[in-house]
């Protein structure tokens, strides 16, 4: 059965995707002003990217719909005020500027995301690190204006001394502490996933049972989609020459699951030889990852976990990453590897095929 796909219009002024899953849904009508009788849709901008929310078989009044939109936007604004490094007075920016190693008070949700990031860092054996902001800025992928040229090895080693999740401590539900004065956080690899989960919980608490939430390609679906079928989600072909949504590599069916994708095809720089340098850095070396893994999509029970795991797996590469995925219950992954001739090779974890997987396209 053909899938109705309505890709988001690409706007070069926005950072739309940082390793993204493109939505491929049979539910495709977008209502901006007021809800349809049995479904609703909200969309907008947040966290330097876009968000999209859909609910099926719901009948909200105009007043209820407006209140829901306001609650969603308020929640997203609060999370940006906590975890955006692009806001000077956000909690994370104030924490990063502080040289104190005394406990620093943060919001409960901020501390929860930090704790999850520390857990992923430990479980991945340092393939994921929430304390990489000095390196991220050094390579030109952060909120600071990059210096001309690529960083020297001396600069990289100096920045590495100010990183490391082991130098961060959760003191309580509202207090965190850095153990070295120069430590700086960057939660971009996990915060969007948390925001997706938080919005999904908000919708559930409003009594909405069949919902789809997406921020920058990170997705959580609850209940069923149109026609009482599982939600259908597309995985994008990781080709930087294609516009977002122009080509889908696979389509899967999800119920009460999250999917997050990490890849190097939307945000990268080139070295002097023209080689692609990914925005995803290996915390163990301080350098961008250099393997041929183009993207990895991780399915898990919540989006915050899927978001962090996807980044860690991308750092590991397909072999180490697949072994790690297979060791975790209720976690599956879809790897797309770029071959030297420009084609793509796919590797699936052992349980991925049962997710209603349709045959990947042969086009690259």
Three-state SS string over 57-68 comes to CCCCCHHHHHHH
DSSP string, 194-262: HHHHHHHHHHHHTT--SEEEEETTEEEEES--GGGPPEEEEEEP--TTSPTTS-EEEEEEESSEEEEEE
With bands split at pLDDT 50, 70 and 90, how would you rate the model's confidence at 23?
Answer: very low
Tell me the two tokens of residue 215. 């921020």
Residue with tokens 């090895």: 153
Check if CATH label 3.30.70.260 holds for domain 39-77+190-354. Answer: no
Range(s) of the chain covered by CATH 3.10.520.10: 39-77+190-354
With bands split at pLDDT 50, 70 and 90, how would you rate the model's confidence at 61?
Answer: confident
* 164-215 per-position pLDDT tens digit: 999 999 999 999 999 999 899 999 999 999 999 999 999 999 999 999 999 9
How far CA 291 is from CA of 137, 140, 237, 280, in Å, comes to 22, 20, 17, 11
Instruction: Give percent of the chain with pLDDT exceeding 70.
Output: 81
Question: Which pTM does this prediction carry?
Answer: 0.85
Considering 1-15, 169-183, 240-254, 275-289, the range whose residues carry the highest mean pLDDT is 169-183
Work out the average pLDDT over 115-132: 95
Range(s) of the chain covered by CATH 1.10.3980.10: 91-189
* 321-354 per-position pLDDT tens digit: 999 999 999 999 999 998 888 888 999 999 998 8
Alpha-helix residue ranges (DSSP H) falling in the chain: 62-83, 91-97, 108-123, 133-138, 153-160, 188-205, 303-316, 318-326
Instruction: Specify the CATH class of 91-189 in words.
Output: mainly alpha
Burial class (CB in 10 A: 0-12, 13-18, 19+), 194: buried
Work out the average pLDDT over 216-225: 94
DSSP string, 249-290: EEEEEESSEEEEEEESSSSEEE-TT--EEES-B-TTTSSB--
Higher pLDDT, 12 or 355: 355
> Considering only CA atoms, which of 310, 279, 244 is closest in space to residue 14?
244
> Considering only CA atoms, which of 224, 254, 248 is closest in space to residue 356?
254
What is the model's pLDDT at position 147? Answer: 65
The yes-or-no verdict on residue 146 having pLDDT over 80 is: no
What is the model's pLDDT at position 239? Answer: 73
The yes-or-no verdict on residue 69 having pLDDT over 80 is: yes
The yes-or-no verdict on residue 4 having pLDDT over 70 is: no
Mean pLDDT in the chain? Answer: 83
């Amino acid at each position: 059965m053909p899938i109705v796909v309505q890709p988001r219009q690409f706007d070069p002024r926005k950072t739309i995707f940082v390793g993204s899953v493109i939505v491929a849904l049979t539910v495709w009508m977008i209502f901006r002003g007021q809800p349809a009788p049995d479904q609703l849709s909200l969309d907008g901008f947040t966290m330097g990217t876009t968000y999209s929310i859909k609910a099926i078989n719901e009948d909200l009044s105009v007043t209820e719909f407006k209140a829901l939109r306001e609650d969603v936007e308020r929640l997203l604004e609060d999370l940006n005020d906590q975890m955006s490094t692009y806001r000077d007075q956000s909690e994370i920016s104030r924490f990063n500027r502080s040289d104190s190693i005394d406990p620093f008070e943060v919001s409960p949700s901020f501390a929860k995301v930090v704790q999850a990031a520390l857990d992923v860092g430990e479980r991945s054996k340092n393939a994921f690190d929430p304390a990489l902001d000095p390196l991220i800025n050094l390579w030109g992928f952060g909120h600071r204006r990059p210096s001309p040229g690529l960083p020297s090895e001396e600069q990289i080693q100096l920045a590495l001394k100010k990183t490391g999740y082991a130098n961060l401590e959760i003191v309580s539900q509202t207090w965190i502490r850095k153990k070295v004065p120069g430590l700086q956080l960057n939660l971009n690899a996990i915060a969007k996933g948390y925001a997706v989960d938080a919005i999904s919980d908000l919708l559930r608490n409003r009594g909405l049972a069949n919902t789809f939430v997406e921020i920058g390609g990170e997705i959580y679906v609850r209940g069923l989609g149109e026609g009482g079928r599982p939600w259908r989600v597309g995985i994008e072909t990781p080709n930087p020459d294609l516009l977002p949504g122009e080509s889908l590599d696979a389509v899967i069916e999800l119920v009460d699951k999250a999917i997050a994708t990490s890849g190097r095809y939307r945000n990268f720089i080139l070295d002097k030889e023209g080689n692609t340098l990914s925005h995803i850095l290996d915390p163990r070396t301080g350098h961008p990852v250099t393997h041929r893994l183009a993207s990895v999509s991780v399915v898990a029970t919540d989006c915050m976990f899927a978001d962090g795991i996807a980044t860690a797996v991308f750092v590991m590469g397909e072999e180490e990453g697949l072994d790690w995925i297979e060791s975790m219950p209720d976690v599956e992954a879809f790897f797309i590897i770029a071959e030297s001739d420009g084609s793509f090779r796919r590797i699936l974890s052992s349980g991925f095929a049962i997710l209603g997987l349709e045959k990947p396209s042969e086009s690259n």
